[in-house]
Amino acid sequence: MLATYPIEATDQNWISETLLDAVRVMLHTLQGGNAPPEFEAALSGDYREHFLRGPNFKKLYDLLVAKCRVLTNVELAQVLNALSEQNDFPRVFARTTPCSSVKDTFPDVHIAANQLFRHAFEKLSDWKTEGCEQTVRAAYHELVDAHLSHGGCPFCGYEPLEASDPDLVDPDLDHYLAISLYPFAGVNLRNLTVMGDKCNRSYKGAQDMLLDENSARVDCLDPYGAEQVTISLHGTTILSEPGTGPDWMISFDPDIKSRNWRRIFKLETRLRANVLERYYKRWISHFVDYAQQHGFDLTSTNDLIAAVGRFKGTCAYDSYPAIGRLKTCFFELVEAALNDPTTVDRMRNFLVKAA
């Protein structure tokens, strides 16, 4: 994650909490050998009336009941464990914390739960928290948009997100833990993240964030945590073979913990092709214009070094965070080459030629 989400955006989590409580009541009642409660009886809390409007929630709840009531107590305990583990945020992001699914063990239960929680997910765009003029999703988006002031997707750092505006279409609200795998977390705001369309639809899809390419559990970045990934161009060779462009190397810190995220979103390839290769010549042209406008003599090494030092300080404010960061890193490498007697002439020529 190149940025994280504000935890206060998850405060209006009552749709998930109310529905999970109702399903727990039903499962515990079945474990006790009693008839499962009707949907109305299983509901509790200030918002129960919302769930009783129309027939769909009751119909989907009854379907889940029908699939669960044939299970043994041991099997019901497995379903309860899956419900709890799938909502064990943020502990679930550690590879040592279990997160079970009933997709393969009890496929009928899984399908019924998926349908119920998908329906609940749709209500984020319809229902309002008491005293709030916005829907739950709109209020969530407003907080996230204010927090992500750069307006860029935290998963790639360069895809734009629509601003919070009633006249605009909200950006994708992705299930970080895919609802097709972990349906009990399907409406939990702690599991939902605003994401760019390309990141969501073209790259992540329904991939499992908790597993690597060998289906082994890995530590996972918490979208609402404090830890962010920093990127650099450490190891990049700008002055590579004659007639070729830079030999790009993108480094990530932390490395191991970010590997699965990078794999799923194809981050190295996307940043290299969509940012570095596409923009670096434009960055140089921008720098040359900047230096000339500020009276620097591009034939003077000292002036070039001074110009790069000043220009570098402006790069972080340029465009989206990943672009600004990589642009800063690029000119750090340029600055280092200009300060190296063995590369200064080649770098000066490279800048003039590339511009």
What's the Cα-to-Cα distance from 50 to each of 10, 76, 125, 126, 128, rounded to whole Å? 19, 27, 13, 11, 10
pLDDT band at 355 (very low <50, low <70, confident <90, very high): low
CA distances 65 to 3, 70, 184, 313, Å, are 40, 9, 14, 61
Both structure tokens of 139: 């209020």
Q: What is the pLDDT of residue 354?
A: 64
What average pLDDT score do residues 92-96 get? 98
> What's phi and psi for 134, nearest 5 deg?
-100, 155
Give pTM, 2 decimals: 0.92
The answer to whether 163 and 226 are in contact (CB under 8 A) is no
CB 147 within 8 A of CB 9: yes
Mean per-residue pLDDT of the chain: 95
pLDDT of 93 over the 70 cut: yes
Query: Residue 338 has what pLDDT?
Result: 95
pLDDT digits (tens, 9 = 90+) for 226-274: 999 999 999 999 987 766 789 999 999 999 999 999 999 999 999 999 9
- Count other C-beta atoms under 10 Å from residue 187's C-beta: 27
Residue with tokens 């009751």: 58
Q: For residues 22 and 318, which has the higher predicted lDDT (pLDDT)? A: 22
pLDDT by residue (tens digit) across 285-305?
999 999 999 999 988 899 999
Region 129-133: mean pLDDT is 94
**Beta-strand relationship, 192-195 and 230-232:** unpaired
Sign of the dihedral defined by the CA atoms of residues 22, 28, 30, 32, in that order:
negative
Is the peptide bond between 90 and the residue preceding it cis, with omega within 30 degrees of 0?
yes
How many CB atoms neighbour CB 321 within 10 A?
22
Q: What is the pLDDT of residues 141-171, one digit of tens each?
A: 999 999 998 899 999 999 999 999 999 999 9
Residue extents of the structural domains in the chain: 7-203, 230-354
176 close to 193: Cβ distance less than 8 angstroms:
yes
In tens, the pLDDT along 51-63 reads 999 899 999 999 9
> Computed over its alpha carbons, how large is the radius of gyration of the chain?
26
- What type of residue sits at position 65? V
